[in-house]
Amino acid sequence: MEKIIAIILAALSFLVLLFIGLRSDLLKEGSAPGKPYSFHKFQLWIWTLVILPAFVLYWGFSPDHIPGINNTSLVLLGISGATAMTAEVIVATQKTGTAPSLKAVHLNSSGFWTDLLKDDNNQLSLVRLQQLIFTFVYVVIYVSAFLPHMQYPEFDTTTYTLMGISTGTFLLGKGLNK
């Protein structure tokens, strides 16, 4: 019975998060019409979209039916959450004008994928493309490793290092592209 409940709850949580992300301003730089989509918010949303249903499925399919989460999932959420919060601090600093020689963040959306790949100077960014590709590759690895046995995958420190370098480069570029 727990397995059926877990499948239903996982599907519902996935669909609700998907709907909210795609139909609200949650993934945008602000709530004003035409605001661009935010790379850092997208990355946190995508990992939440993957890990929350996995958490529910793990509960339903684990022998003890005790909810649990592993270090890999916590690190992935932590990296994306810390990235989102740091990027928000950078954006808030830009808006208040406390940082030297800041340019305004591009104000109009150019479309979902284009917004994700454009930096704050409205230029396509190789750093963002790299981070987007790594994010999708690791999402596919995570999901394909989780689903066959309903067990969390374990990433090694090299993976975290690669993600940290990619994230650090994104944040450094966000701060310096002004």
Residue of 91, 80, 178 lying closest to 134 (CA atoms): 80
What pLDDT was estimated at residue 103? 47
Q: How many CA atoms lie within 13 A of 2 on its CB side?
A: 12
> What is the value of pTM for the model shown?
0.85
Please identify which residue in the block is written with the tokens 């990235």: 83
Q: What is the pLDDT along the chain (178 residues), one digit of tens a residue?
A: 889 999 999 999 999 999 999 999 999 987 778 889 999 999 999 999 999 999 999 999 988 878 889 999 999 999 999 999 998 888 788 777 655 444 445 568 889 999 999 987 888 989 899 999 999 999 999 999 999 999 999 999 999 888 888 888 888 877 776 5
